[in-house]
Amino acid sequence: MYLRYQLFDDQRDAMILVARIMILILYGYFGFTYVTDHGSFVSYLKTVNAPIPEFTAIVATIIEFFGGLALLFGFWTRPIAAIFVVYTIGTGIIGHAFWNSTNPADHHTLFVHFFKNVSIAGGFLFLCLLGPGKYSIDKR
């Protein structure tokens, strides 16, 4: 039973830190590109028919870059992770709308990306539940 239930108990906080880093690499990278090349991001949002692309770009930049940094450092972890759950599902709906695709290859690609977003949102749900661990500003 030790292996099944207690194997990683001693490394729990370190593993939560590694998980926070892993889940946020994507958001940190893209958030940085949204800050440094905002115009291209707005143009992309127009191609996927995002609502109010200029405003949506600002919201996405704040969430991905600044929210990502906050989560990385473990600051306001649970509420920000909850925001990321909603945000990640929303970006999947807007950016990976496989149900609108008639091309089989595009449909498959969008389908995979949409469900990757769903899976990432699941990771954020775990972060909401677990909290950031002791290696964080929140230290919980």
Per the domain annotation, does 60 fall within a domain? yes
Count of CA atoms in the C-beta half-sphere (13 A) of 83:
15
Instruction: Flag whether 135 is in a domain.
Output: no
97: containing domain: 13-130
Residues 132, 140 contacting (CB under 8 angstroms): yes
Residue 7 lies in a domain: no
Please check whether residue 92 lies inside any domain of the structure. yes
Report the number of distinct structural domains present in the chain. Answer: 1
Residue 9 binned pLDDT confidence (cut-offs 50, 70, 90): confident
- 63-79 pLDDT tens trace: 999 999 999 999 999 99
Q: Answer whether residue 95 is part of any domain.
A: yes
Given the structure tokens 């899976």, which residue do they identify? 119
Query: CB within 8 A of 70, min separation 6: which ones?
Result: 76, 77, 80
Task: Give me the pLDDT at residue 1, please.
Answer: 55
Phi-psi region of 34 (alpha: psi -120 to 50; beta: other; left: phi over 0): alpha
